Amino acid sequence: MSQALAREPAPRAKREIFGTPIFGPESAQKGYALNKMCFSFNSAAARAEFIRDEAAYCARYGLTAAQTEAILKRDLLKLLDQGGNAYYLAKFAGILGLNMQDIGALQTGMSVEQFKAKLLAARDS
Amino acid sequence: MATIIGGLAASHVPAIGGAMAKGLQQDPYWAPFFDGFNAPCRWLEAAKPDAAVVIYNDHGLNFFLDKMPTFAVGAAPEYRNDDEGWGIPVSAPFPGDAKLSWHIIETLVGDEFDPVTCQEMLVDHAFSLPMQLFFRDRAHSIPTVPVVVNTVQHPLPSLRRCFKLGQAIGRAIESYPEDMKVVVIGTGGLSHQLEGERAGFINTAFDRRCMDAMTGDIDGILGIDPHELVELAGSQGVEVMNWVAMRGALLGDVHELHRNYHLPISNTASGIMLLENRPKLARAA
């Protein structure tokens, strides 16, 4: 009995993966308001309201100053750092009229053409 | 008794919906992807399944982080799509088979899986696009059971857990006392990553390993933990969990009838597979 209930060894510390934020407990809490705002962008009325006054909309959802600034500056890496989740941030990107190659280019410091070339090059890997 | 005649898998990126809305199926960029559905579509037209169980992940249409189930099963007579915020057209509703849903739910709970049950549930592009790609004109007439796996927020269920969920779904369908043919569909993947400085990450070697594992060494990938899976497949490439759950549901002898692998579609390496599930041959005494 005692053996069956023996504790599992503590999980090993997870090594970092370059350029890859893990959306887990820390980000889920830190980014809750930010992601909740992005979730609201499923509604066309909400998107229109956001566009009318972005800062006021951020305030209504209780975003921190850092999160609000990152939204206003379209700083995607900062938004990730502030707990943003890719699936929800994609709805924000939709408002900006950006597709996933635009988003990829912005985050990797490439031009959109360079980013597309990078995707194509993966064929030969 | 119900029988599972096969399993299908396909990627589900929203851009596919945009391409369909614009009629770009034969555009040079998209044709190698859309043409990959011809063989599975022909097989489905001949096999005429009576229901489809669709294993996918929600991208923030039905579920938000306020209540995030690890596993959820739809139990509704109808499933609607809705505005997802990124500009792809809202699709027509899909019929549900609530009776089959409840049988699956009862069997899963009896089997020590405890899914959230949803009598109202919006289905997003990860459900609607593969249904339309595989079933074409019949997409909105074939009864469905949606099964949602959390790929959004860590901790994610392990690949082994997803495989076992699939096995339990397989046992549930095979114990359903209606004479009907069922297909199981897993959607998402293959390797891709949308966010961070590693955005655009694709791993063709790992994708091929996953596709080969569907009829080969499945156990060889089940030990990959979720963190390692992010590293190998990319943050959203983890959606291959849905493929693994689909594969788990195929309890017979599994044969690959078709595969298509093409990249990129949007930022994603696309995989399409058709697996036939044949009854296990009785062993000679």
Residues B215-239: what's their mean pLDDT? 97
Q: What is the CA radius of gyration of chain B?
A: 17
Instruction: Please report the ipTM that was assigned to this predicted complex.
Output: 0.94
Q: Does B105 touch chain A (CB under 8 A)?
A: no
Hey, is the C-beta of B110 within 8 angstroms of any chain A C-beta?
A: no
By CB atoms closer than 10 A (0-12, 13-18, 19+), residue A72 is exposed
Distances, alpha carbon B172 to alpha carbons A97, B49, B155, B166, in Å: 44, 17, 26, 10
The full set of domain ranges for chain B reads 3-278
- List B103, B125, B140, B262, catalytic entry: B125
Q: Are A95 and A42 in contact (CB under 8 A)?
A: no
Residues of B in contact with A18 (CB under 8 A): 197-198
How far is A122 from B266, CA to CA, in rounded Å? 13
Which H/E stretch holds residue B236? none
In terms of CATH, what superfamily is B3-278?
LigB-like (3.40.830.10)
Q: In chain A, whose CA is at the least distance from the CA of B206?
A: A125
Above 70 in pLDDT, residue B188?
yes
Q: Which chain B residues are Cβ-neighbours of A93 within 8 angstroms?
A: 86
Best of A50, A79, A82, A87 to disrupt the B interface (most B CBs within 10 Å) is A87
Closest chain A C-alpha to B13 CA, distance in angstroms: 10
Answer whether B84 touches A (CB < 8 Å): yes
Q: Specify which residues B258 forms β-bridges with.
A: B274
Q: Tell me the pLDDT band of A118, cut-offs 50, 70 and 90.
A: very high
Phi, psi of B270, deg, nearest 5: -95, 135
pLDDT for position B285: 47
Q: pLDDT tier at B86 (50, 70, 90 boundaries)?
A: confident
Starting at the edge strand found earlier in the chain, the sheet holding B3-10 runs: B116-118, B71-74, B144-149, B51-56, B181-187, B3-10, B268-278, B253-265
CB proximity A20 to B under 8 Å: yes
B192 is catalytic: yes
Q: Does A88 touch chain B (CB under 8 A)?
A: yes
Least CB-CB distance to B231: which of A17, A25, A125? A17
Q: Is pLDDT above 50 for A2?
A: no
Phi first, then psi: what are they for B180, rounded to 5°?
-150, 160
Which chain B residue's Cα is nearest to A40? B85
**For A30-34, B82-86, B272-276, which range has the lowest pLDDT when averaged over its residues?**
B82-86
Q: How close A61 gets to chain B, by Cα (Å)?
A: 14
Closest CB from B86, B197, B264 relative to A90: B86
Looking at residue A124, what is its pLDDT?
A: 81
Helix (H) or strand (E) holding B73: strand B71-74
> Active-site residue among B59, B192, B258, B262?
B192
* Predicted local confidence at residue B77, as pLDDT: 98
Q: Say if the Cβ atoms of A80 and B195 lie within 8 Å.
A: yes
Mean model confidence pLDDT for chain B: 97
The answer to whether B64 contacts chain A (CB < 8 Å) is yes
Among A111-125, B112-126, B260-274, the range scoring the smallest mean pLDDT is A111-125
* Mean pLDDT across B64-92: 96
User: Hey, which residues does B256 pair with through a beta bridge?
Assistant: B275
Best to test chain A binding among B62, B124, B149, B195 (most A CBs inside 10 Å): B195
| Alpha-carbon distance values, B147 to A97, B50, B113 (Å) | 31, 17, 13
What pLDDT band is residue A8 in, cutting at 50, 70 and 90? low
For range A47-68, the mean pLDDT? 98
Question: Given CB atoms, is B235 within the 8 Å cutoff of chain A?
Answer: yes
The alpha carbon of residue A81 is apart from the nearest alpha carbon of chain B, in Å, by: 9
The whole-number pLDDT of residue A10 equals 55
What integer pLDDT is reported at residue B69 of this predicted model? 98
Average of per-residue pLDDT across A61-87? 97
| Per-residue pLDDT at A1 | 44
Q: With residue A6 as reference, give the H or E element that holds it.
A: none
CA angle B137, B141, B142 (to 5 degrees): 105
Q: Which domains does chain A have, with CATH numbers?
A: 25-97 (1.10.700.10)
